[in-house]
Every structure is written in structure tokens, then in C-alpha cells.
């Protein structure tokens, strides 16, 4: 298991981003992996929407992670969208979770990330405004 000591990379004003940032990074990896693994399945045609959502979700999570790492002024807005992206991807992946382990694993990563992003965008909205 890899241990990322993300907190040492975060500044004082971004310390409480750490859990959300980690969840976004995990979700990028899970989505990229799932999209790729789907391409090797026999029923790849029935996984087209799953691949599409994996791709979009990876994109949004990567953006959210990078903006949080910066303590960027737009982190709240991006986390809000990221929660929606993860939610949509989780719903689709769960449909295939019984048959494909990569979908099950990806759905779990998406659920965790959606929850963290909702927490971030809900509770932290007053914080970056001052920068």
C-alpha cells in the first residue's frame, strides 16, 4: 500500500483539504483504471456509458485535486461539480459492479470522493473568499 503524506505538501490554509484531495486523487486513478479495464471486457459495448463517465469523472477529479493543492480560489465551485461527476459515475459503475470488479472498486472510490467533495463545498464556502 502506498502512503501519501499529502499534509506535508499542504499549507496552513489548505490543511483541511487533505482528505478531499486524497479522495480526488484516488478517484482519478480508479476512473482511469476502470475505463481502461472496460476496454478488455467481452461486453465492452454495454460499458460505453461507463467508460464515458469514467473519463469525464477522471478529468474533473484531476482538476479538483490540482486546484485544492494550490489552495486555489475556485476550489469550492470545482468541488461542487466534482461531487456531481462522482455521483453520476458511481451510479453507472454500480450497475456493473456485480460483474466487473473494476467497476465495483471505481464505484466505491467515486462514492467516497462525492462525499468528501460535498463536505468541502458545503462547509468551506467562506474560507477561500479572503484570498
Task: Choose, by CB under 8 A, the member of 10, 119, 124, 127 that binds a second copy.
Answer: 10
Number of neighbouring beta carbons within 10 Å of residue 70: 13
Torsion, Cα 93 96 102 108, to 10 degrees, reads 40
The reply to whether 117 sits near a second copy by the rule CB under 8 A is no
The reply to whether 48 sits near a second copy by the rule CB under 8 A is yes
CA atoms within 13 A on the CB side of 128: 23
CB of 89 to a second copy, least distance (A): 9
Torsion, Cα 99 94 24 78, to 10 degrees, reads 140
Residue at grid coordinates 473494476: 102
Q: Which of 88, 124 has the CB closer to a second copy? A: 88
The reply to whether 94 sits near a second copy by the rule CB under 8 A is no
Among candidates 72, 75, 80, 77, which has minimal Cα distance to 119? 80
Binding site for a second copy (CB under 8 A): 1-11, 14, 18-19, 21-22, 25-26, 28-30, 32-33, 35-37, 39-40, 42, 44-45, 48-49, 51-53, 55-60, 62-63, 65-67, 69-75, 77-78, 80-81, 84-85, 88, 102, 105-106, 109, 131
Amino acid at each position: 500500500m502506498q502512503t501519501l503524506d499529502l499534509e506535508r505538501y499542504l499549507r496552513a490554509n489548505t490543511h483541511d483539504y487533505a482528505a478531499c484531495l486524497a479522495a480526488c486523487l484516488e478517484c482519478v486513478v480508479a476512473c482511469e483504471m476502470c475505463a481502461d479495464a472496460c476496454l478488455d471486457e467481452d461486453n465492452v459495448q454495454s460499458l460505453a456509458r461507463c467508460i464515458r463517465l469514467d473519463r469525464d469523472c477522471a478529468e474533473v477529479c484531476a482538476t479538483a485535486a490540482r486546484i485544492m493543492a494550490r489552495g486555489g480560489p475556485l476550489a469550492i465551485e470545482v468541488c461542487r461539480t466534482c461531487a456531481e461527476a462522482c455521483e453520476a459515475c458511481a451510479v453507472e459503475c454500480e450497475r456493473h459492479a456485480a460483474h466487473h470488479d473494476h467497476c465495483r472498486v471505481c464505484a466505491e472510490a467515486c462514492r467516497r470522493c462525492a462525499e468528501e467533495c460535498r463536505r468541502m463545498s458545503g462547509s468551506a464556502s467562506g474560507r477561500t473568499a479572503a484570498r
